[in-house]
Structure 1
Amino acid sequence: MFDHELNTAGYTEAPDHDVRSLRVRYCRLRTAGGEPIAELEAVSFRLRFGAVAVAAEGIGGVETQPEFRRQGHMSRLFRQALAGMAQRVDVGFVSDGIEGVYERFGFVTAAAEGRLVIPVRNVEQAVGADLGTAVPGIRTGSPEDLPAMVRLYNTAHAHRPWTHVRHAGWNRLVPQTTWQPGSQTLVLQAGSAVAGYAVLEGRAFGAPLHSLTVDELVAEDAPATRVLLTAIARLGWQRRLGECTVREPVDSLTGQVARQTGCTNKHNFPLSGGMMAAVLNRSSLIRTLEPELRRRAAGEQQDKAYDDAFDALRRGDLLPDDRALIRLLLGYWSVGDAIVHGLSIPEPYRDLCAAWFPGGGTQALPMPYAHGLDRY
């Protein structure tokens, strides 16, 4: 018999297990007879708010069986899953939210999709390279390069909001099969060390060579970045392409070097859906982020007035809208953006809030960015 009440007996959470270097917990609803109704995944990771990484969980793999759809079951499952998440972490995320769905649960779009479009000819002219010859130091990557790649990545994006902290055993490169394009890795070797790498979006067997996309390009310095961009431009030249796409933030080292060669920076700011976030425990999250907020406000006098403002922020007396707060904390909004969207900030707190929430892409806070290989 179907359990219309869907009480806690119909809700289960499976133990954590690893899925491609991420810890995953399955949350399920079943009928009284054990028949599956709906399921979602709660993915565990650590994610940065600037210089501080916090424990977080993300929602993924959301699915309802066809015969049970449009009956409110996913809403019930979602609320129970969020209640469980709130007992473990203070903030939740969605990598690719459906438009108009997650807002009802407190989530809000909080990161933009960005990419750099670089003309192949621009790179050739900027570096003075002959794209018909091999680029010195470039070789195909291997699993043995992953620890060095992780170190380079964490160093390059250490203070970037929305960035996952990659552990020593990280490996979310996409395996390649005949019909499924996987990751292709180029490595820049400098003596005995890896000086940079690029992960290319793979091409399925038989697919036309109509595009070239780089999922990540990270190097230890500007000269190494130019070498890697030259290697990418050479691949584009070999495929008779006029441009290539690099998925790196414009304020990164890769973005800075790409701007010197001439590129187009493209961002997509969806009204709803996309990369979303929600505050689950405001007071605890603010306490965890106190060192980061003090870092951002280093130019402001930190005295009793600061402590009073911090306590007001933690309690919700200051900036009570958690949806606006998560956007401000991650740098998706600056204080000026929030005011434009109707948020009111009391006069005594404005200078401090401007320091706390400068917006991404500033000297105090890099742009929030979610690299594709860490999404779930």
Structure 2
Amino acid sequence: MDPEVRSLRVRYCRLRTDGGEPVAELEALSFRQRFGAVAVAAEGIGGVETQLEFRRQGYMSRLLRQSLAGMAQRVDVAFVSDGIEGVYENFGFVNAVSEGHLVIPIRNVERAAGRDPGAAAPGVRNGSSADLPAMIRLYNNAHAQRPWTHERHTGWNRLVPSTTWKPGSQTLILQTGGTAVGYAVLEGRAFGDPLGSLAVDELVAEDAAGARLLLTAVSRLCWQVRLSDFWVRDPADSLVGRVARHMGCTYQQRFPPSGGMMAAILNRPGLLRSLEPELRRRAAGQQSDKVYDAASDALRRGDLLPDDKALIRLLLGHWSTDDAYAHGVSIPERYRDLCMAWFPGGGAPSLPTPYAHRLDRY
């Protein structure tokens, strides 16, 4: 387990035989997950494993049920970072975030930059561990209201370390007047692998000019090894996404029907109480207090949107109200305008696209 995961609160949930022989185990990791401008206490399931001789005998189902019952005593919502297809739906989980990345042709970057593709981007240098505090600040400022985001705290370091056969994460820092104003983290590759593409795990900048300079620096690296394009793992409605769209790019998004990144509501009333400030922010006074309070009470009771699987997708912005209608969800006419404000779907002005940043997955 890497140092950052160890820094999280981890509970090990295990099943053993009467003689003490291990049967199955999983990890329950504690963190705070964002639903927009509000972060709530949550737990995630990881490290799920059953010993070979005990598989297909129902032990993992038993362990998951017991673990989720324990989690429900501590938090109101649970997550899975990499769910197995066809398994977690049986325990109340649904896919709640999609996978996406920008594909940027270096020719487009060169044209937008108007410079020699081999020339160095001004102000961009290689990074080091000393740059982590500035990177944490820049990341939190850029993604503070994005659903599925973890706020990064002092000491965060999920960069991939260098090993014998893999160079690990490469970091570029954009500096102005002695201050870091942007960064890019390039995905490490195994030594000996054919270099067919270059992927950027994160690219964050304070402004559009900084984003263009960092994209230019990455484009130069591609030009040096004769690559025609590169990936940036960032949502299309981020600052970097908007700059890349202006240059000309492709956004590739995947919506798996099962497995992948999933979420489940454990305690509806508690979760909605925690998210009350966020729901009021989204509503922005569009309805009278009387209508708002009645709808809020109905939502907590389950009279409004009784399906928890639909609700978690709506709260996180994976679905909009129109998506819910398309899937047969019924909403009383008197609450429709408020639900449109509460659940606009990711990519709306009041709610950025939900995105699981690769360096924060467990």
Q: TM-score, normalised by structure 1?
A: 0.94
Question: Is 1:90 aligned to 2:51, yes or no?
Answer: no
Whole-Å Cα distance in 1 between the matches of residues 305 and 137 of structure 2? 37
2:4 touches 2:157 (CA, 8 Å); kept in 1?
no
Q: Is the 8 A contact 2:87 2:259 kept in 1?
A: yes
CA distance in 1: counterparts of 2:242 and 2:183, whole angstroms: 17
Contact 1:20/1:172 (CA < 8 Å) preserved in 2? no
Letter in 1 for 2:311: L
Q: CA deviation at 1:274?
A: 0.8
Structural mapping, 1:220-259, within 5 Å: 220-259=206-245
List aligned pairs for 1:1-376, cutoff 5 A.
19-376=5-362
Return closer, same or farther for 1:207/1:20 CA change in 2, 3 Å cut-off. farther
Q: CA RMSD in A?
A: 1.1
Q: CA 1:85 to 1:169, structure 2 compared with 1: closer, same or farther past 3 Å?
A: same
CA shift digits 1:306-326 (9 cap, x unpaired): 101101101111100000000
Distance in 2 separating the partners of 1:185 and 1:23: 28
* CA 1:366–1:217: 2 relative to 1, 3 Å: same
One-letter code of the match for 1:230?
Answer: T
The letter for the 2-side match of 1:276 is M
Counterpart-to-counterpart distance in 2, 1:375 and 1:363: 26
| Counterpart-to-counterpart distance in 1, 2:162 and 2:68 | 34
Amino acid at match of 2:207: D
* Pairs aligned (count): 360
List runs of 5+ in structure 2 lacking aligned partners. none
For 2:355 and 2:100, locate their aligned partners in 1 and report how far apart those are by CA, in whole Å.
8
CA deviations 1:145-166 (Å, max 9, x no partner) are 1111011001001110011111
**8 A Cα contact 1:43 1:57, kept in partner:** yes
User: In 1, Cα distance between the equivalents of 2:319 and 2:37?
Assistant: 18
Aligned partners of 2:4 and 2:158 also within 8 Å: no
Shift of 1:179: 2.0
Poorly superposed stretches of 4+, deviation over 4 Å? none
Render the CA deviation track for 1:4-46: whole Å, top value 9, x for unaligned: xxxxxxxxxxxxx963543221111111111110011111111
Per-residue deviation, residues 246-298 of structure 1 (Å, max 9, x unmatched): 00000000000000110001100011111100001100000000000000001
Evaluate the alpha carbon distance shift between residue 118 and residue 18 of structure 1 in structure 2; reply closer, same or farther with a 3 A threshold. Answer: closer
Asked if the contact 1:331/1:357 (under 8 Å) is kept, the reply is yes
Return 5+ residue gaps in structure 1 as ranges. Answer: 1-16
Task: Compare 149-158 and 205-214 and name the one that shifted more.
Answer: 205-214
Give the structure-2-normalised TM-score.
Answer: 0.98
Percent identity of the aligned residues? Answer: 75
Q: Deviations over 1:58-117 (max 9, x none)?
A: 111110000000000000000111011111111000111111000000000000001000
The CA deviation string for residues 143-196 of structure 1, in whole angstroms up to 9 with x for no partner, is 111111011001001110011111111111111102235211111111111010
